[in-house]
Amino acid sequence: MQKKFAFATIAVAGLATAASAQIRLSQNLEEFLVTGGVGVACASTAAPQTTTENSFARSFTLADFGISEGFTVSTVEFGIESLRLPTLIEADITVNLYQVPAGSPPTVAGTLVGSTVVALGDRSLEVITVDVDGSVDAGTALMVEIDVPNFQDLSGGLTGDVYFPGGNSFGQDAPSYLFSASCGLTEYTSYDAIAFPDTHLIIIAEGDVGGGGCRADIDGDGVLTIFDFLAFQNAFDAGDLSVADFDGDGVLTIFDFLTFQNEFDAGC
């Protein structure tokens, strides 16, 4: 069965096996079962169907998982519904880790903290585990992005090369998101917002509590000084949420000053 969203198509999916982990940041109620009729990506409507550029993401606020410190990622798991390459041997899939403000959905304005590229050939009905290192600070959120190339450009036209993400419809604690300018999605958009509420992509981060920098050390020199206060004030005045939104509510208020001051006084 197929559905279409603009230039998007749904494919087939199946079972995958679990990977070992330390702490799992997961929003899927069912983490390992990939089902059909779920994966949505931007693709041509003309035959042979070929996918364009697609990025899939989830955002994990550390506090939602009871983590009050930083978090260091060691592996990422993501579902693949279908990777079919009739004209290519392999495709480079990029896994990116970003730090974003607490409570923030995936955004193109995140701070990149880790990245890896994995070359994959034809496969389907799988959950892939890749090693990728990156740390985010206490009081923030981790955004995990699965970035897939534009096969229409890579293979030179409509060649039938496709990638559809894997997931299921068994429930989730927070939405999964799609970004693809070719389908008019110029910012990360939840699947709910594009009329696919049952698309719950499997994207899971694993790692350990700890790591990341000291948030109050804004100038990054390893010590807390008046220059960190000045750097915070400059970021606040500039409206830079990625630096100055210390209470993670998405707006800059006096409470961000108070939270910064408390963390500064507590030391690193």
Element (H, E) at 92: strand 91-101
Tokens matching residue 149:
């190339």
- pLDDT, one tens digit per residue, over 161-198 is 999 999 999 999 999 999 999 999 999 999 999 999 99
Identify whether 219 is part of a domain.
no
Identify whether 218 is part of a domain.
no
Task: Please indicate, yes or no, whether residues 31 and 104 belong to a single structural domain of this protein.
Answer: yes
Task: Please indicate, yes or no, whether residues 23 and 107 belong to a single structural domain of this protein.
Answer: yes
Identify whether 215 is part of a domain.
no
Task: Please indicate, yes or no, whether residues 44 and 153 belong to a single structural domain of this protein.
Answer: yes
Number of domains in the chain: 2
pLDDT value for 268: 66
Task: Please indicate, yes or no, whether residues 36 and 118 belong to a single structural domain of this protein.
Answer: yes
Identify whether 220 is part of a domain.
no
Last residue of a domain, one of 209, 234, 253: 209
pLDDT value for 243: 79
In which residue ranges of the chain is pLDDT below 50? 1-21
Task: Please indicate, yes or no, whether residues 38 and 66 belong to a single structural domain of this protein.
Answer: yes
- pLDDT, one tens digit per residue, over 55-65 is 999 999 999 99
Per-residue burial over 201-236, b = 16 or more CB atoms within 10 Å of its CB, e = otherwise: bbbbbbbebebbbbbbbbeeeeebeeebbebbeebb
Residue 81's domain comprises: 4-209
**Distance, CA of 43 to CA of 239 (rounded, Å):** 37
Identify whether 214 is part of a domain.
no
pLDDT value for 9: 32
Task: Please indicate, yes or no, whether residues 98 and 178 belong to a single structural domain of this protein.
Answer: yes
pLDDT value for 267: 74
Beta bridge partners of 123: 83
**Is the four-CA dihedral 117, 122, 128, 131 of positive or negative sign?**
negative
Task: Please indicate, yes or no, whether residues 152 and 48 belong to a single structural domain of this protein.
Answer: yes
pLDDT value for 213: 63
pLDDT value for 56: 98
82 and 39 in contact (C-beta within 8 Å)?
Answer: yes
**Distance, CA of 42 to CA of 4 (rounded, Å):** 9
